[in-house]
Chains A and B, each alone.
Chain A
Amino acid sequence: MTGTSWVIRGARPLDAEPADITITDETITAIGDGVGQKGAQELDAAGLIALPGLVDLHTHLREPGREDAETIETGTLAAALGGFTAVHAMANTDPVADTAGVTEQIWRLGRAAGHCDVQPVGAVTVGLAGSRLAEFGAMAESAARVRVFSDDGRCVSDAVLMRRALEYVKAFGGVIAQHAQEPRLTEGAQMNEGAASGRLGLAGWPAVAEEAIIARDCLLAAHVGSALHICHVSTAGSVEIIRWAKSKGWRVTAEVTPHHLLLTDDLVASYDPVYKVNPPLRTAADVATLREGLADGTIDCVATDHAPHPVEAKETEWAVAAFGMTGLETALRVVQQAMVDTGLLGWAQVADRMSARPAAIGRLSGQGQPLAPGSPANLVLYDPAASSAVDPATHASRSRNSPFAGLTLPGQVVGTFLRGRATVLDGKPT
């Protein structure tokens, strides 16, 4: 499909005045009024907002190993339908992405699927076991060019190992993405520790277990002069600590998930494990502070933590169920509901928090570029006036564990372009 040109008529770039966007081959070549090009395909985008293609720093594609839950093909198709042009594939696959071989395989499978770029995240420790460092250098120099390292799903709780990891990645400009969870404080933890856990008799996951690790790691990153990224920040206290670390000029970045921006722990009263996630859903006060933190830039970006699970992993009693929620196909809509419709963010800032910032943190050069002539033609066309109930049965993801099922959310992704090629048109895969 290369060689195809497009003229997208009447879309509003970042919600500004309507303009026509011309794409030639893989590049945006003009944005303006009435521009055109012979032989180009025309697309009427009146009423739609154009945003740079979204970038997810935190996706579980489950391949290799758990292809019953998701494959790189289905996961990246879900990503494209959600407006993403790049996703970071977390390392907790089976085998774990802790070698150049596995990360390269994931990268190649992503290229072959072609729905969006797949940037593998490498494991921090061999087998995610938390005892010795994985071969960062080999992964960094592989075709996958790994720059983000994470044991996500598990915390790098050993302070010395975390220090060494932060130091080591300085050699090639990498970043350690920490799943902040003090393991002893969260043994057997099932949900946020608070009023709801007390009533429901479920073991609590206290906010301090996240905040203590974040505070420690900010200090470690400052001490060794390296870059730290905090995965899925979920508590008000974490926002405060990150704000303090940033005020010192330390190289700390952070993400928040769509579900932590919208849902609260009182949903657990149903004991329906579709609400079981790690870190857990927190309180309304935490949600409000996370929204403020994302609005003022303390939290850099939104990342989905898309975590697909097969039906049987959730059709159980709460304590046995798997942690995790799908999120790729609903992320932008949830952000509209939680941040835009509440007046906390404009669309230009949404583009920053969901495209430019995550691309910068992930060290992706061809993603997260502004909508401007010369940029790679990665963009999403979005109808903010649409509204519909979320039906996971219609999702491209192989799994159905969406906590937003049945909820009416605003917006619809109408089109997604990856380097000039439409991956989604009319809200459907091409």
Chain B
Amino acid sequence: MNRHLISAADLSKQDTLLVLDTAEELAQVADRPIKKLPTLRGRTVVNLFFEDSTRTRISFEAAAKRLSADVINFAVKGSSVAKGESLKDTALTLEAMGADAVVVRHSASGAPHRLAGWVRGSVINAGDGAHEHPTQALLDAFTIRRRFGRGSGEALDGLRVTIVGDVLHSRVARSNVWLLHQLGADVALVAPPTLLPIAIDDWPCSVSYDLDAALPKSDVVMMLRIQQERMNAAYFPSVREYSRRYGLDNARLRQLPDGAIVMHPGPMNRGVEIAAEVADSARSTIVEQVANGVSVRMAVLYLLLGGLEAQ
């Protein structure tokens, strides 16, 4: 594996499977009475969050603590554009504190790339702008693999995954397209044309505008969060219209094949992109995704921070 995890494209298929298989082993820790391994004792993990994301930060924090790492949470208030300390100075500060890994969430695409040039430790991208969120894609792949009864060493060949919603602004969609494609899944994107990037043709997936046509062909439906402010920039006329055309409600849920699952990276807008009954249905993996997130992030920290060297 590379020293950093910045993009899903940094991972070879072999690396990805190694992360998923390691996560599978580490998941068993969660079932023990004492949920802690000594692996990263004495190592320091900094959670550097320029954007509020309590769920992702807590997930990384839990992962690091279960591996006995020291965790420092560093929340930078306000947006990066508001002039304060520069990203570089923040990086140098973390460097001086001896951070072995920096988990970074930032509103600017590419901020983790820049950070990686300024610190010696490993940089783990916890979401950068509209670019990528690789640990989300890893935990989604992990969740799909488990739900479809595939075990260690197995990929996602033949599974049809439909990702629905604001692809244009979604780092989750980008990371998932690369990662799931690499694992052999057939990825389809469904969105209104305004919420798809121009020149999407070279992405390794199919693209359409019609959710109803896509559902019967989907083993997995992944709903993306829609930001209601988008309608002010004319990406769609109204939240209700968006919900009618691209929301997953009970009627649409019935169009899915038997055994198909419904995913959402959270936080959800219940009643907008996903109906409450769907979110709470047996097909929904949303709560599992949260639990799996900790296991997958444990695997990433373990593999990047010399878990292998230690052996």
Contacts and interface: CB of A to CB of B under 8 A. Distances in A.
B198 A206 contact: yes
Interface stretch (B108-116, B215-223, B235-243, B254-262): B108-116
A70 B224 CA distance: 47
Given A200-B110, A318-B109, A318-B110, A194 B199 contact: yes
Nearest to A283: B199
Contacts of A206: 198
B244 interface: no
A198 B201 CA distance: 10
A365 interface: no
A319 B108 contact: yes
Interface in A186-205: 190, 193-195, 197-204
B129 A198 contact: no
Interface residues of B, number: 27
A316 interface: yes
B198 A271 contact: no
A116 B16 CA distance: 59
Contacts of A46: none
A158 interface: no
Contacts, number: 72
Contact of B197 (A197, A315, A319): A197
A114 B81 CA distance: 40
A389 interface: no
A262 to B, nearest CB: 22
Contacts of B106: 317
A318 B87 CA distance: 11
B80 A200 contact: no
Contacts of B202: 195
A201 to B, nearest CB: 3
Contacts of A129: none
Interface string B87-123: 1100000000000000000111111011000000000
A271 B199 contact: no
Nearest to A319: B108
Interface in B144-200: 171, 174, 197-200
A316 B106 CA distance: 12
B108 A317 contact: yes
Interface in B53-84: 80-81
A315 B86 contact: yes
Given A193-B198, A201-B171, A271-B109, A316 B114 contact: yes
A270 interface: yes
Interface in A143-197: 190, 193-195, 197
Contact of A202 (B86, B109, B132): B109
Given A271-B110, A318-B108, A319-B81, A201 B130 contact: yes
A31 to B, nearest CB: 52
B131 interface: yes
Given A317-B106, A318-B110, A320-B108, A198 B198 contact: yes
Contact of A319 (B109, B198, B201): B109
Give the interface size class of chain A: 20 to 34
A353 B286 CA distance: 62
A195 B202 CA distance: 7
Contacts of A319: 80-81, 107-110, 129
Given A198-B198, A201-B171, A271-B113, A312 B86 contact: yes
Q: Which of B107, B114, B128 has the most CB of A within 10 A?
A: B114
A68 to B, nearest CB: 16
Interface in A251-299: 270-271
Contacts of A198: 197-200, 203
A201 B200 contact: no
B172 to A, nearest CB: 11
> Lowest 5 A-B CB distances belong to which pairs?
A271-B110, A198-B197, A201-B130, A201-B131, A317-B108
Interface of B: 80-81, 86-88, 106-111, 113-114, 128-132, 171, 174, 197-203
Interface of A: 190, 193-195, 197-204, 206, 270-271, 312, 315-320
30 contacts: A190-B109, A193-B198, A194-B199, A195-B199, A195-B201, A195-B202, A197-B198, A198-B199, A198-B200, A200-B110, A201-B174, A202-B110, A271-B110, A271-B113, A271-B114, A312-B86, A315-B86, A316-B86, A316-B87, A316-B88, A316-B114, A317-B80, A317-B87, A317-B106, A318-B108, A318-B114, A319-B81, A319-B107, A320-B87, A320-B108
Given A271-B110, A319-B81, 20 more contacts: A194-B198, A195-B201, A198-B198, A200-B109, A200-B131, A201-B129, A201-B131, A202-B110, A204-B198, A270-B113, A271-B113, A271-B114, A312-B86, A317-B87, A317-B106, A317-B111, A318-B108, A318-B114, A319-B80, A319-B108
